[in-house]
Amino acid sequence: MRFETPFGPAWASVDSNGAVTVFNFGVGDEKGFNPEVARQMEEFFAGKRQVFDFPLAPKGSPFQKRVWAELVKIPFGETISYGELARRIGNPAASRAVGRANATNPIAVIVPCHRVIGANGKLTGYAGGIEVKDKLLAWESAVKSAS
């Protein structure tokens, strides 16, 4: 599936059960179609949805999946640090490993890795680029304050 977003084109792949396996910005190897995913993504980028309720099926290690499961709990328009994310998964010394798992998240935006920032409040790496991360966070903040 392809999407036009306020941040440029994006794409998603879904498995045979309709679960999202990949979401990313740019052009990619989209596979499958799930009309519910398409509807919710359109609502999100229109500022009318803040939480997704379609199935996800990211491929990764058990540790990565634990980190990604915690990412979806970060509320729309809010941020936490890598250290806080490590604490939330019960491993406070693992902020670097958490950062690596964050960097390999295959389902951008939906699994909101962009909501994790440095302990000093500075933006750190993002697969889509720091500029996109900054725009996503600013957009979420504006949508949240308008609702």
Instruction: Determine phi and psi for 132, rounding to 5 degrees.
Output: -65, -40
User: Coil, strand, or helix at residue 84?
Assistant: helix
Residues with catalytic roles: 113
Tell me which fold the domain 62-146 belongs to: Arc Repressor Mutant, subunit A (1.10.10)
pLDDT of residue 30: 87
Domain spans of the chain, in order of start:
2-45, 62-146
Instruction: Check residue 70 and give its pLDDT.
Output: 97
Predicted local confidence at residue 47, as pLDDT: 94
The first and second tokens of residue 25, run together, are 């910005």
Q: pTM score, two decimals? A: 0.93
The predicted pLDDT at position 125 comes to 80
CA atoms within 13 A of residue 89's CA, in its CB half-sphere = 27
Query: Distance (Å, rounded) from C-alpha 82 to C-alpha 94?
Result: 9
Q: Which residues of the chain have pLDDT under 50?
A: none
pLDDT of residue 46: 94
Rounded distance, CA 135 to CA 123, Å? 11
The predicted pLDDT at position 72 comes to 97
